[in-house]
Amino acid sequence: EVQVLESGGGLVQPGGSLRLSCAASGFTFRNYAMSWVRQAPGKGLEWVSGISGSGGTTYYADSVKGRFTLSRDNSKNTLYLQINSLRAEDTAVYYCARTSVVSPGSLDYWGQGTLVTVSS
Amino acid sequence: QSALTQPASVSGSPGQSITISCTGTNSDVGGYKYVSWYQQHPGKAPKVMIYDVTNRPSGVSNRFSGSKSGNTASLTISGLQAEDEADYYCSSYTSISTLVFGGGTKLTVL
């Protein structure tokens, strides 16, 4: 069974940092691109960042470029999102999602999300 | 990377059909076949209902269908059921290899 499980969320002060993790199981992790999508309280979905299966290519939304760094360790089947210089507007549930192998535009498995709250 | 445009809300009675539109640009919806639709119930993770404009993943009801014309994609749900009440989001692959979502549409089953 395909599973992705996020962790690392919590309460952090403005300007602080956090590292989110996403542990994957049930599929050959290195063969799949992965993404992070966030959802602010009561708001819509926002794609944040994506990474190729090898980890050699990363993509970012303009809203997080320069502050977020996406990486992966294929030996540990784990995805990481380093978030720096946190702002109040970064408060959201962060979802880890697998990109479909048949379509680069489709996220076919999602975790349950981890909540990041930025507040003093 | 502007969000795709969706109506904020739609509604329909059980058994009826509804359509949700999703408008983008030539750099996303109009330029690629990689449009997806997601269903999200309150407090739950999104679930893909349609991918590549018209394709349904295994296990998704054939009451859900997708189409595209120019820069606008559409999701149609036929034979509305109470369990279809949820938020729906479209997304598209973009010319800079990112994804962009629509603002979401709240579907109410009357």
Q: Tell me, what's the pLDDT at B67?
A: 97
Residue of A nearest to B49 (CA): A108
For B94, phi and psi rounded to 5 degrees? -125, 170
Q: Tell me, what's the pLDDT at B107?
A: 98
Residue of A nearest to B3 (CA): A46
Q: Which of A46, A95, A104 sits opposite B93 (nearest CB)?
A: A104
Rg (CA), chain B: 13
Structure confidence at residue A25 as a pLDDT band (50, 70, 90)? very high
Q: Which of A116, A91, A49, A39 is nearest to B103 (CA)?
A: A39
Q: Tell me, what's the pLDDT at B96?
A: 93
Q: Which of B23, B30, B24 is nearest to B7 (CA)?
A: B23
**Who's near B43: CB < 8 A, 6+ residues apart?**
none
Q: Which of B8, B7, B6, B11 is nearest to B85 (CA)?
A: B11
**Which of B58, B99, B105 should we substitute to test contact with A (largest number of A Cβ atoms within 10 Å)?**
B99
Q: Tell me, what's the pLDDT at B30?
A: 95
**Who's near A56: CB < 8 A, 6+ residues apart?**
none
Share of chain B above pLDDT 90, in %: 98
How far lies A18's CA from each of A13, A69, A112, B56, B89, in Å? 10, 11, 18, 36, 28
Q: Tell me, what's the pLDDT at B1?
A: 72
**Sequence letter at residue B24:** G
**pLDDT tens digits along A35-94:** 999 999 999 999 999 999 999 999 999 999 999 999 999 999 999 999 999 999 999 999
**Who's near B86: CB < 8 A, 6+ residues apart?**
B39, B40, B41, B42, B107
* Mean pLDDT across B64-93: 98
**pLDDT tens digits along B41-58:** 999 999 999 999 999 999
Q: Tell me, what's the pLDDT at B68?
A: 97
Is B95 an 8 Å CB contact of chain A? no
Is B72's pLDDT higher than 80? yes
Q: Which of A77, A59, A5, B94 is nearest to A69 (CA)?
A: A59
What value does the mean pLDDT of chain A take? Answer: 97
Is B2's pLDDT higher than 90? no
- Distance to chain B for A48, nearest Cα, Å: 9
